[in-house]
Chain A
Amino acid sequence: MQAFDYVRAASVEDAVARLAASGGQAYVLSGGTDLIVQLREGRRSARVVVDVKGLPEFGDLSYDPDMGLLIGAATPCWRIAADAAIASAFPGLVEAISLIGGVQIQGRASIGGNLCNASPAADSIPALIVHAAVCEIAGPSGRRSLPVEEFCIAPGRTALQPGELLVRVFVPPPAQHSGAAYLRFIPRNEMDIAVVGAGAAVTLDSHGERFVAARIALGAVAPTPLYVAEAGAALAGQPVSPDTIAEAARLAREAARPIDDLRGTAAQRRHLSGVLVRRALERAVERARAR
């Protein structure tokens, strides 16, 4: 392992100051399930890691049906998935985060780390996008908010500026008659990285027969997790039917810009995008009708 210092951030301001002063040589440490592997393998180099797990806001986890869900950036996945109220209000999100690694990884891995590592295949991000989540960022000039779909800008790169860090993620409360789902394709049942991931969230009319609104996002088919606004927009006002769902799935497939790599070919990924979006929409509709 390369040599670096370890510091426990004393406050958000302390963390910001250390990041700002480091000239890019400091990394925030959350669960370490990406960072420690990357430092050990020399894929990133650090002079210091700044542990934020002890800071109160970073461990937040609160849900109120009127206010929504607040997740501290360092809250480990297992705590989110273990909360029955959250699992029932945000099944698509909990489905996504429960896929991250095995039990041991769940014990440490956080949503903040999943977002900030900015892998195109990160499982939580498409789910956060369809839930219209918002990132709360702290930096040298104070706090700002950013829609989650604007957070990743390239593989491994985020919209965070020097000295900035992600503090919390806010997920608005689910609308009436809404439902969401996240599905991913991997060659085995557990412990693998997405070949394609797809998230869908729908809001239906009170009869459960017409789409009022929909949001669709894909993972592992572009340099960043991909928000496919046009596929969701095409559903608004349309009846819930195999045809309208197929059309949204087609738009998602068109939006995908996949590459060939060891996990799959571009052609397979494009095909999977359509299939997974269709299935995620069907499952989201089922959940919206059941609510």
Chain B
Amino acid sequence: MTSRVRVEAQINGDPVEFLCEPYQSLLEVLRDVLGLTGTKEGCSNGNCGACNVLLDGVLVNSCLVLAPEVHGHEVTTIEGIAGSDGLHPIQRAFLDHAALQCGICTPGFIVAARALLDRTPHPTEQQVRHWLAGNLCRCTGYDKIVRAVLAAADTMETAR
């Protein structure tokens, strides 16, 4: 028998404490224990990026992180991307460029794009495509998504 684990972490800036099974993924806990259902499950094997979150600022697949591993660490999910004053420029650009259809892949793309623009504010198209290679979209197609990310980079530059 395994015993439940108590985990303390910062999630989207707030201190959070939860109990979980030692073998539960961060993805499961976010969705099923904490009610943060913005993070999606696509493949649960690291291939699709729908479950992307930032762990201490580093982009990771939450389906490949055990929830107890985040004890003492900081997690940012899609719910933590928008500011108090409304949508993040990346989210706005996805809407403006119709970069989503069913939307399952969208939170993962947005979290990934945010990680890219944090470190590379002016990416080339090639850099955007390379960075997003670990995110799969089955309905929109990648061109609109890439254009949305490039447009968001421009907007963020103007706002700076």
Query: A5-B22, A104-B134, A105-B134 are known contacts. Are A32 and B65 too (CB-CB below 8 A)?
Result: yes
**Bound CA–CA A46/B77 (angstroms):** 29
Contact A1 B134 (CB under 8 A): no
Q: How far is the CB of A33 from chain B (nearest CB, A)?
A: 5
Q: How far is the CB of A272 from chain B (nearest CB, A)?
A: 22
- Mark the stretch among B11-19, B55-63, B87-95, B149-157 that contacts chain A: B55-63
Which residues in A have their C-beta under 8 angstroms from that of B5? 6
Which residues in B have their C-beta under 8 angstroms from that of A33? 46, 61, 64
**Which B residue sits closest to A78, measured CB to CB?**
B58
Contact A4 B23 (CB under 8 A): yes
Query: A104-B61, A105-B61 are known contacts. Are A36 and B25 too (CB-CB below 8 A)?
Result: yes
Which residues in B have their C-beta under 8 angstroms from that of A101? 46, 134
0 or 1 for each of B111-147: is its CB under 8 Å from A? (1 = yes): 0100110000000000000110111000000000000
0 or 1 for each of A186-229: is its CB under 8 Å from B? (1 = yes): 00011100000000000000000000000000000000000000
Give the 4 A-B CB pairs with smallest separation, nearest first. Answer: A102-B134, A190-B133, A6-B22, A107-B58
Which residues of B come within 8 Å of A, CB atoms? Answer: 1-3, 5, 21-25, 44-47, 49, 52, 55, 58-61, 63-66, 68-69, 112, 115-116, 130-131, 133-135
Which residues of A come within 8 Å of B, CB atoms? Answer: 1-6, 29, 31-33, 36-37, 39-41, 49, 51, 53, 76, 78, 101-105, 107-108, 189-191
**With A2-B23, A32-B66 already in contact, 14 other A-B pairs whose C-beta atoms are closer than 8 Å:** A1-B24, A3-B23, A4-B23, A33-B61, A36-B25, A49-B66, A53-B69, A101-B46, A102-B49, A103-B133, A107-B55, A108-B60, A191-B47, A191-B134
